Amino acid sequence: MSQDEKNEKNEKVEKNKKEEKGFVSGDDPVKRALLISLSVSAISLSLKIGAFFITGSSAALSDSMESVVHLFAVAFVVYGYYLSLKPPDEDHHYGHERIGLLSVGAEGTIIIVAGITIVYYAIQSLVTGIEIHNMGTGLFMLIAAALVNLVLGSYVLRVGKKHGSMIAISNGKHTLTDVWTSSGVVFALVVIHYTGWLYIDVIVSFLMAGFISYEGWKLLNYSVRGIMDERDPEVDTALRAELEKDLPETITGWHHLRHRTIGNTTWVELHLILEKDISLHRAHADATLLERRLIDALKTDAVITMHLEPEDADRHHESLLKGANKNKDLDEFA
């Protein structure tokens, strides 16, 4: 191994150490927000569990169950975000950012499971009988939990939107659903206190289950669309707008544009048509200039791969690729 290669390897090792230290110390605003979310979620869960044991309310139990699920979801999200920051390595040439999609999908799935659990306990309450007591203390604890989650969810959501992190956005939205569920329980207990109608406890549980399940489905849908590399309309518009501008002098056209966005990185592929009889040096210079323009046009980091073709490309050479793939024609990949 040459000295330059050794130096490069040492630089990568130091970079990885710094990134790991950054995660621990919370230098990254998104990481800091997620770690705060994990800690505060444990406090909120304690308040809700206490409210359930004090009141015996089915709706309060449902709210507690949702928070148990939420705590585990946040822990998984934090771990997923940590993995997504790891740089590419010998086994993961495209990095680890796709784990973010799995984190969002897992959180959505867990939320749906929480909704189903709420329905189960509500039905069980109908069968065994509804009994609620100590509503004053329970209300105080639930209101406190709701206020904690309102501040936390708003903070994490704001950080996620500011830094374009879907992991943080989904976690913020999930935290804010806790506010709605707690508010629903508070509403149910207040109505029961003034009317004595215990069945509102079960009705509110069903409504909460439907609401949070819908929120979970939206997160799960986002995850699946990302895993399937669905085209990002904003990215597509930005790329095409730049390509429709005046291109560098020797580039006369383009085609076969493809792209996918994973986490904070967009991978772009396209073919460029260049004037004939130009030097490789000139072709490379103009292609690199366009590459920089395309990267600057995006809000994310980007990796641009370009295939260069002369205007009078010999179609005989391209025909050599026909039948090269085992099951699909080459055009099917474009």
CA distance linking residue 193 with residue 172, whole number of Å: 32
CA distance linking residue 47 with residue 67, whole number of Å: 10
Res. 17: pLDDT tops 60:
no
Which tokens hold the place of 246? 């005046």
pLDDT for 209 equals 81
Report long-range pairs for 312-315 (Cβ below 8 Å, ≥24 apart).
Answer: 312/276, 313/273
CA distance linking residue 193 with residue 164, whole number of Å: 44
Res. 285: pLDDT tops 60:
yes
Q: What percent of the chain has pLDDT over 90?
A: 25
Q: How many CB atoms lie within 10 A of CB 317?
A: 9
CA distance linking residue 186 with residue 181, whole number of Å: 9
pLDDT bin (cut points 50, 70, 90) of residue 4 is low
**What separation, in Å, do the N-terminal and C-terminal C-alpha atoms of the chain show?**
40
Res. 163: pLDDT tops 80:
yes
pLDDT for 77 equals 76
Residue that wins the pLDDT comparison between 8 and 199: 199
pLDDT for 243 equals 96
pLDDT for 130 equals 58
Show the beta-strand stretches assigned E in the chain.
251-262, 265-274, 301-310
- For domain 3-227, give the CATH number: 1.20.1510.10
Query: Could you report the per-residue pLDDT of 213-262, keeping only the tens digit for each?
Result: 887 898 899 899 988 989 999 999 999 999 999 999 999 999 999 999 88
Q: How far is CA 10 from CA 4, 17, 94, in A?
A: 10, 11, 21
DSSP conformational letter for 264: T
Lowest mean pLDDT among 132-136, 145-149, 179-183, 239-243: 132-136
User: pTM here?
Assistant: 0.69
| Nearest alpha carbon to residue 112 among 223, 196, 237 | 223
Average pLDDT over residues 119-140: 71
pLDDT bin (cut points 50, 70, 90) of residue 315 is low
pLDDT for 52 equals 72
pLDDT for 56 equals 67
| Domain ranges within the chain, ordered by starting residue | 3-227, 233-333
Q: What is the mean pLDDT of the chain?
A: 81
| C-beta of residue 185 within 8 angstroms of C-beta of residue 194 | no
From the options 2.40.30.170, 3.30.70.330, 3.40.50.720, 3.30.70.1350, give the CATH code of 233-333: 3.30.70.1350
